[in-house]
Every structure is written in structure tokens, then in C-alpha cells.
Chain A
């Protein structure tokens, strides 16, 4: 098994702009993600609505139809705009995807044109017809209605809604518990002026990370970014995620009409900075419920047939580990007891040699397979960058291979149970 040993190229094509290149010409498609990172502040409702309004057209391509046609002419290149909460920041993301140069007919160019189209939506927006009108009023009101409808419809996706509510309840007084769009009321009251202010803030004050993956040409993107961001930028400094520990375990049961109940259990922990400790924590999480090799899958699904799937996950930079499962509401207490029993056993007795073997096999295969997945590669290196870790997959693999049972046991010690959240049908 071989692991990537390369440290990705980091560039700074403009003030406050970091460009990360993890490309490889084996791939047929190039992907460029442009991430504008800002605090989860009062402007986030405006940013969420802004993206929907901007997608209606740009100064150059004044409606969705002409925008889409231009992309199609670039051999089906695509661009997506989105906002999301990422840990305790607000991200405005633009992702473009296009065919690799080696597969294009001679003389065709798609990468820079699709970057121009995608960012033109944000930088040179479609203005309103009236004098001084920032945005077309009818578009703004239509998109506001559509966004408000979509926010209402969140409950229709029981799994996503349960996950959102779990974070809201567990982190009620932390940035991590905030909704990406703030609230429906906030979206309803956003003005055109606030939208324009939000647009300018994204361009001028967000920390920008550009990630090139697949077969995207890094030099072309670097050159393009230097021109696109050639301006005075006053970047807002972002705070580190907060760390909080609970005083006691809480149980919250909310109700929604549904066939299958959703159970989420949240724990607080310390996120270590050393690579060896980080790998030990990853192994502990994996042994608990990182897949079909995990204890919870084996006990709750395979032995007791109580769930189709039950998994544990860490929440990026946030000091949280959670377990989630779709279950019959009547078995919630039994599943909860099993989860806590396995967490306690892992901390008290450590993992077995067999469990270490399985978690290592899973982790090492994942690290080796990174090389074949542009998305996973981009996510790995970007995650490392965000966490301040300067480690290649090879370094992470070596650290994983050196892990002992004691290190993993240590990593599983001190997790503090915070919340058991159940979304289920009313009795």
C-alpha cells in the first residue's frame, strides 16, 4: 500500500487569498472550490438570501437561461453557489467543475471562462432596472419567498432536521448551534441595502481559500485569482471554535410525525493537536462506531437488530463527538444504554487487538485511496490546513500504524456525555 507523500502547493495570489493545489492529470474533471469564510454574525441571513438572488443572472448574463447556456457551451461545465455553516464560521462557497484540458478538442478552453462566469455572478451582479436599485426587486422578493418556503420544508427531511435540532439544542449558546440563515424572521426582513452590504463584505473582507483538485490547471487558476482579487482587502480575523464541557447529561425528546425515530448522542472532548494523538482519537471513534467494523454496528445492528445503521463521527474543529442512529422509538433507552456501555468499556478496558487491526485497516485503506479521489484529497489537505497540521497521508498513515492500545484507550478517556436527543413521533 502506498500513500501520498506530497505536501500540496500553497500560493497566495492576492491579499487574504490562499490557493491550495492538489491536482493530478489522471483525472478527467477539474474542480475548483472558492471558499469565502466569515463569522456567523448578523449578516448571515443576508448572505443566504443574497446567493439565491445573485444566481438569477449577472451583468454579463442577465438571466438563468443565458448563464446556463454559457456553461453548457463549455462542454457542460458547472458552477454552484452555496452558503453553509462550517464549524463556527459562515462559508459562502462557489464550486466549479469542468472537463480536463486533455479531453477537450484542440483550442478549447473551459476552466478560466467558467471561473469568470461563476465569480461574475458575485463580483458583477445583475442590477435592478430602477435608478440606484441594487437588485431587481421582483427577483429579490421571489427568491425570498422561495427561501422561506425551503426553510419551512426542512422538517420534511426527518434525518436532516433531527441532525440540525440536535446541534441547536446541544450548542444552544455557542456559534456551532446557530443556523446558517439565522432564522426565517431574519430572512423575511433583509433589505436590498443589506444584501449589497453583504455582497461587498464577502468580496472585500472574507478570508478566501481556493482549492484546485482533479485535473484543474493550478497555474491558470493562480493567474486568474491574482487578477480577480486584485483589490484592497481588509480580512476579518476569525475566532477559534469555543470549547465547552457540560455540567450534566441532558435528555431532550422532540416530536414530529415519522415512521422511524432519530437518535443523536453528543459528547464533548478535547481535540489534540499532536498528530499521534489525533490519530489515536480517530481510531477510538472508528472503533466505537466508524463503520461496519465498529462496536456499535456490531452490537446494536448485528447482535440486536435495533437499527439499520448506527455511526459515530467527530465534528471537524469542534470538540464534539456524536453517535447517530435511525431506530424504533421504543428501543431508544436500550440503544442509549448500549452506546454509553461501549463508550465506558472503551475508556476502561481499551480496544482489543482485533479492533485495532480493523480500525487500522480501514484508516490505512482510506488514506491510500485518497490518491484516487479528487474530492477526498481536497478535503484532506484543506482539513489539515485548517487544523494547522502539516502532515501528508504518508505521515498520518505512519502515525496510525504506530498506535498502541494504550494510546487509543487514553484518547477515549474523558469524553463527557452532554446530550441524548431523540426526534420521534408523539406517543
Chain B
């Protein structure tokens, strides 16, 4: 285990010590003097999108949707004792999460940190997956998936994804479909584990009031020592596909929910460049539709949008999109008015004063976001998994120019990659 780098960020008043084991586990230690809790976030780049992969020995595997999420649940079963019971005895706050591209496991505690760390590293690195155990979890996961199915935001988003992406795993949420959850078996999960839960894929971030050298000594005996290659993911490139321009589904909602999506054709595969792209896109959408925007005020005054309106950019290596959504009475008029407003905004020049003001606000948001050890550890792990430099958001923000924003505005909204999804009330 060797320290590879120490990064100090004076504006954030944070320091991170980067460490790497001989077999490739990357660790970030962030001392936060004066805090009572310590948080550890452990994760890897493996998520709901990873449905097709080739093992290092050449075996080609296809697994059902929801496999990464199911595996996360199963790891909490532990080998000999349930992870819930072990953490509960120690009093820690703990959880896990599966997104499109990542799975993370974490805890935060004010006591028994060493024991909690041992639990975390043990259950993620040494699971027992059997058919009986997999079957036992099925009812719980089905209930979780059903819970999301009742949420109009979730339903509309994935209806839109299904229109935007022709053959990509983005069409289904990380929890998978109920049909797939019903057929996932231990072989699927073991393959996922063997292919991706290998030391060189694992990343760990720990933040709290500790001594870095002592922490390294604690970690040494707890980490796996084997070394295997990571499976090669065969995610299809979604950036150039579109299935339908308009889809509609009846759903039990009071008024129509409208989702307008623009798939992105130029998503950066490099993590650092994608961070920059994310900051630019977020600033741009804030300039267009944030509360300080004249465009938003016009749309609000004209009663085209209300407070339900939102707009965001999201992306990873093989996909990216802007989604704008809102609740309205006349979906087609809503779409026409929003898209015309986008065109008008792009045609007009962005004012430098608006850009500088939003940059200042974003600066405050980034600094104040790193408030607790848990927030710091989570942010650092996200950077490690996304492949961008830790604590570099502020530097990227300061390096962005108005011209970058203007250029993004001209590329973000490509009509040929636009899809619209509408949830319509059943009784109307």
C-alpha cells in the first residue's frame, strides 16, 4: 500500500491522501479534524447499465435487468451473519445504492469505527451467493420496484428513456423490470460479482478525524490481496439512437406529466472532460430555466410552466441527455412553447453579467456542499468512480468561459435527437 499523492484544496479547506494497494484498490483518506463521526464509502463502477460483459477468460455473459441492484441487496445478507445485524450492533448508519453505472456501500458512525470498517470491507469483498439466498430476497426487491412504479416522475422518465434509447439499458431503471427480477438467479449474480467486484475496480473514501498513517495500518489486513482483471463491459453506445419522437401512456395522474428529452451525441468518455461538460451544461440550464432567468419568468408569467418545471443534464461514458419536465394541461402546447423558448434563448446572446453571477452562486454551492464527513466521503468516491480529479469542480468552474456556455447552448438541443413522453390521466 503506497501513498500516491496528496491533494490540498485551500479554498475548500480539505486535504485528501490518495493511496493504492499493490493489486489496484484505490483509497482516499480525508482527515476532517474536529468532527465526531467518520464515514466510509466503498464502491465500484458497476451498475444497472452493465447487462452484457465478457469475462477475462473470454466467456460472454448477458444478465437480466436489475442484476447489479439485486447483487447489492444480496451482499447485505453477509456470509455468516446479516450485515444489518452486524452494523446494528455497532449502532452505525449504513446503506447501499445502485445507479446506472455505479454501486456503493457506506456507513457513518460516531463510535466503533474499526469494527464498522471491518464489516464494510468484509461483506463487500467476501459474499456468499446461493440460490436459496437469492430466492429469499425476491419478494423484497419486487416491493421496492413496485414502489417506484407508482411514482409519476419515475414512470415518465423511463417512458422517455425508452423513446430516446433504442437498445440501451437506460430504457429500464437500475432496479430492473418485475419480469427480470423474477428470473434473476445465483449464477447471474455470481457472474456479475466475479466480473466486476475485483480489487482493481474497488474504490474507498474515508473521511473523519483520524491519523492517516494509523488508518493505513488498519486497512492493510482488511483488503483483498488477489489480483484479477475486470470484465469488459459491452454497453451499447446510446448516443446516436432514438426509437420514437413521441410516446404517450395512460397513468393514474391528475394532469398530464410531460417529459422532453434531448439525447446528447457528444458525451465525453474521459471523466475529467465529462465533469467540465456537466458543469457547463448545468450552468447553461440554470441560465435558461433557473429562478433568475428572464426566460423562465416569461414562461411562468404566461402560465406555460409552474413550479413543477425542472431541467437537468445527466451523462456517463455511453449516454447523455437533457431532460425538461413539468405538469401542464396542454402537453403539445407545453412542448411547442418550451422548444421555441430554447431556440430563442440560443439565438440571443447570453449576458456576461448573468454568467458571472451564476458562476459565483455555483461556487458557493460547491464549497458549502462539503459540510460533513459523510458528504465529503460521498463526493470523493463519486469523483473516483467517475474518473475525475478530486475536488476539481471549483477549478473547472473557474476555468469555464462564456464562450464555452454559448457553444454548449448551440449543441445541447438537437431536434433530431429529441423525444417526448407524456403520461396522460386515465379518466380524461
Residues on A lying within 8 angstroms of B by beta carbon are: 1-2, 26-29, 63-65, 67-69, 71-77, 97-100, 103, 142, 145-146, 149-150, 152-153, 155-159, 214, 256-260, 291-293, 301-302, 304-308, 326-328, 357-358, 360-366, 368-369, 371-374
**Contact (Cβ within 8 A) A153 B91:** no
**Contact status B357-A158, CB under 8 Å:** no
Contact in complex: A64, B297 (CB < 8 Å): yes
Known: A65-B294, A361-B88; 14 extra A-B contacts, CB below 8 A, are A65-B297, A68-B292, A150-B307, A152-B254, A157-B151, A292-B84, A293-B84, A293-B85, A328-B143, A328-B146, A361-B91, A365-B93, A368-B111, A372-B372
Cβ–Cβ contact A100 & B368, under 8 A: yes
Determine the chain B residues whose CB is within 8 A of the CB of A103 once the complex forms: 11, 13, 367-368
Q: Are the C-beta atoms of A307 and B143 separated by less than 8 Å?
A: yes
Docked-complex contact A362 and B293, CB < 8 angstroms: no
Contacts A75-B360, A328-B143, A373-B372; A305 near B137 (Cβ below 8 A): yes
CA distance A318 to B238 in the complex (A): 52
B37 touches A369 (CB 8 A): yes
A100 to B, closest residue via Cβ: B368
Structural contact, A75 and B363, CB atoms closer than 8 A = yes
* Complexed CA–CA distance, A36 and B41 (Å): 39
A39 to B368, CA, bound (A): 36
B19 at the A interface (CB under 8 A):
no
Shortest Cβ-Cβ A-B pairs, 3 listed? A305-B139, A361-B91, A75-B364
Q: Complex: how many Å from CA A103 to CA B14?
A: 12
- With a cutoff of 8 Å between Cβ atoms, the chain A residues found around residue B138 in the complex are 305
User: For residue B34, which residue of chain A has the nearest CB?
Assistant: A26
Looking across the interface, which residue of chain B has its beta carbon closest to that of A138?
B301
Partner of A28, one of B296, B300, B368: B368
A28 near B370: Cβ-Cβ < 8 Å:
yes
Q: What chain B residues lie within 8 Å of A361 (beta carbons)? A: 88-91
Range for the number of chain B residues in contact with chain A:
35 or more
Q: Is the CB of A308 within 8 A of B144?
A: yes
Question: What are 25 A-B residue pairs whose CB atoms fall within 8 Å in the complex?
Answer: A64-B291, A64-B297, A65-B296, A68-B291, A73-B360, A76-B360, A97-B368, A98-B368, A103-B11, A145-B303, A150-B306, A156-B254, A214-B371, A257-B252, A259-B147, A260-B149, A260-B150, A292-B84, A293-B84, A302-B84, A305-B139, A326-B146, A328-B143, A369-B110, A371-B37
A153 with B358: CB separation less than 8 A: no
User: Roughly how many angstroms separate A67 CA and B141 CA in the complex, as a whole number?
Assistant: 45
Contact between chains at B357 and A69 (CB < 8 Å) = yes
Known: A75-B363, A372-B372. A152 touches B357 (CB 8 A): no
Q: How far is the CB of B406 from chain A (nearest CB, A)?
A: 20
Q: Closest A-chain residue to B294, C-beta based?
A: A65
Cross-chain contact B297 with A63 (CB below 8 angstroms): yes
The contact of B146 among A68, A97, A155, A260, by CB within 8 Å, is: A260
Report how far A425 CA is from B103 CA in the complex, Å. 33
A150: B residues at CB distance < 8 A: 306-308
Docked pose: A286 CA to B303 CA in angstroms: 47
Taking the closest CB of chain B, its distance from the CB of A304, in whole angstroms, is 8
Known: A99-B364, A146-B307. A369 touches B150 (CB 8 A): no
Q: Which residues of A contact B36 (CB under 8 A)?
A: 2, 368-369, 371-372
CB neighbours (8 Å) of B303 from chain A are: 142, 145
Knowing A26-B34, A64-B300 are in contact, say whether A308-B152 is a contact too (CB < 8 A).
no
B136 touches A305 (CB 8 A): yes
Instruction: With A259-B149, A326-B143 as known contacts, state yes or no: A364 contacts B111, CB within 8 Å.
Output: yes
Contacts of A75 in B (CB 8 A): 360-361, 363-364
Q: Are B144 and A156 in contact (CB under 8 A)?
A: no
Q: Which of B321-354 contact A (CB under 8 A)?
A: 327
Are B426 and A358 neighbours in the complex by a CB distance under 8 Å? no
Which residues does chain A contribute within 8 Å of B144, judged by CB atoms?
308
Q: Is A72 within 8 A of B255, CB to CB?
A: no
